[in-house]
């Protein structure tokens, strides 16, 4: 595996994933009972947007940079309201770690944890895991664990709290990655039918994506949302231009929140003349 998220941190895909993640975490916090989050592919946990990797691609400039650039047109009110929890987490992280630090999913989750909530951040790659462990030492309500993410997904659900979320965000470098994700999702729903799952996927091969979604439709007797955002970038432009999320057992308010905000977000993150966004129940 040669995927390095440092090249892509803070891009449009991170913005979509982390903005939705923040809304889901707010829902979990709305009830007094504790919850646990399991991040199966946690990465290093934090990224420097002024290091060589990030500057080489500049992808963050078309993602988080579009939201925080004071010289750009102000965000529309509905988009401000939707993004507020996410941008609050980013701002808090930067206050502590520097103006060009970008929080990965574990850091976003950590921002929303209450004293009795917990995060299990799983990462297999050794260098990323060492950085993750230093970022979240014992006692931080976060346990960093070096393990294959799919094994952790299977082993640690349902959590003892019986409430929570699994974040599944693999690199999709392996040819069978979509198949592994589909198998993991089917097994997870059977084992923990009430659990929430946030699953991210890239849209590079539309046929592969539609086959994956069709498979999940036929085997998952639970409520699901499918969210996609296409920046409208030209086909010959480098890098990813579209991605999606599948949310299993989504908060009942999420679809309504996305209805107005998602098209506005697509236009804000546009890299072409025809950005598109959609949210549908599966």
Q: Is 169 a catalytic residue?
A: yes
Distance CA 109, CA 113 (A): 7
Checking if the pLDDT of 192 tops 80, the result is: yes
Residues 6+ apart with CB under 8 A from 123: 41, 42, 43, 44, 129, 132, 144, 145, 146, 149
- Render pLDDT for 205-229 as a digit per residue (tens, 0 to 9): 999 999 998 887 766 677 899 999 9
Q: What average pLDDT is seen over the chain? A: 92
Taking residues 60-78, report their average pLDDT. 89
Q: Where are the beta strands (DSSP E) in 23-105?
A: 36-39, 46-48, 101-103
Reported for 69-74, long-range contacts at CB under 8 A and 24+ positions apart, including other chains, are: none
Predicted confidence at residue 2, as pLDDT, reads 42
Checking if the pLDDT of 155 tops 90, the result is: yes
Predicted confidence at residue 1, as pLDDT, reads 39
* Structural domains present in the chain: 5-281 (3.40.50.150)
Predicted confidence at residue 26, as pLDDT, reads 97
Distances (CA, A) of 164 to 19, 48, 160, 181, 197: 17, 29, 10, 19, 9
| Structure token pair of residue 266 | 């697509």
Taking residues 106-111, report their average pLDDT. 97
Q: Which phi and psi angles does 19 have, rounded to 5°?
A: -65, -45
**Choice among 14, 39, 117, 169 that is catalytic:** 169
């Amino acid at each position: 595996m040669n995927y390095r998220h440092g090249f892509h941190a803070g891009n449009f895909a991170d913005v979509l994933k982390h903005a939705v993640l923040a809304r889901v975490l707010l829902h979990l916090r709305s009830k007094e009972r504790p919850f646990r989050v399991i991040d199966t592919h946690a990465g290093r946990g934090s990224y420097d947007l002024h290091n060589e990797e990030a500057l080489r691609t500049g992808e963050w400039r078309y993602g988080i940079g579009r939201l925080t650039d004071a010289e750009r047109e102000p965000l529309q009110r509905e988009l401000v309201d939707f993004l507020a929890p996410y941008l609050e987490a980013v701002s808090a992280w930067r206050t502590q770690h520097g103006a060009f630090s970008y929080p990965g999913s574990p850091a976003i989750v950590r921002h929303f944890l209450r004293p009795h909530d917990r995060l299990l951040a799983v990462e297999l790659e050794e260098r990323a895991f060492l950085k993750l462990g230093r970022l979240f030492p014992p006692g931080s309500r976060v346990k960093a664990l070096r393990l294959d993410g799919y094994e952790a997904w299977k082993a640690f659900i349902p959590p003892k709290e019986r409430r929570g979320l699994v974040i599944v965000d693999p690199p999709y470098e392996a040819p069978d990655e979509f198949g592994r994700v589909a198998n993991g999702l089917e097994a997870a729903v059977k084992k923990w039918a009430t659990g929430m799952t946030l699953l991210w996927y890239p849209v590079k091969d539309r046929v592969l994506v539609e086959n994956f979604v069709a498979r999940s439709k036929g085997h998952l007797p639970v409520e699901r949302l499918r969210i996609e955002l296409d920046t409208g970038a030209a086909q010959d432009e480098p890098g990813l231009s579209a991605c999606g999320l599948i949310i299993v057992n989504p908060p009942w308010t999420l679809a309504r929140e996305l209805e107005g905000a998602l098209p506005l977000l697509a236009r804000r993150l546009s890299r072409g003349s025809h950005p598109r966004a959609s949210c549908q129940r599966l």
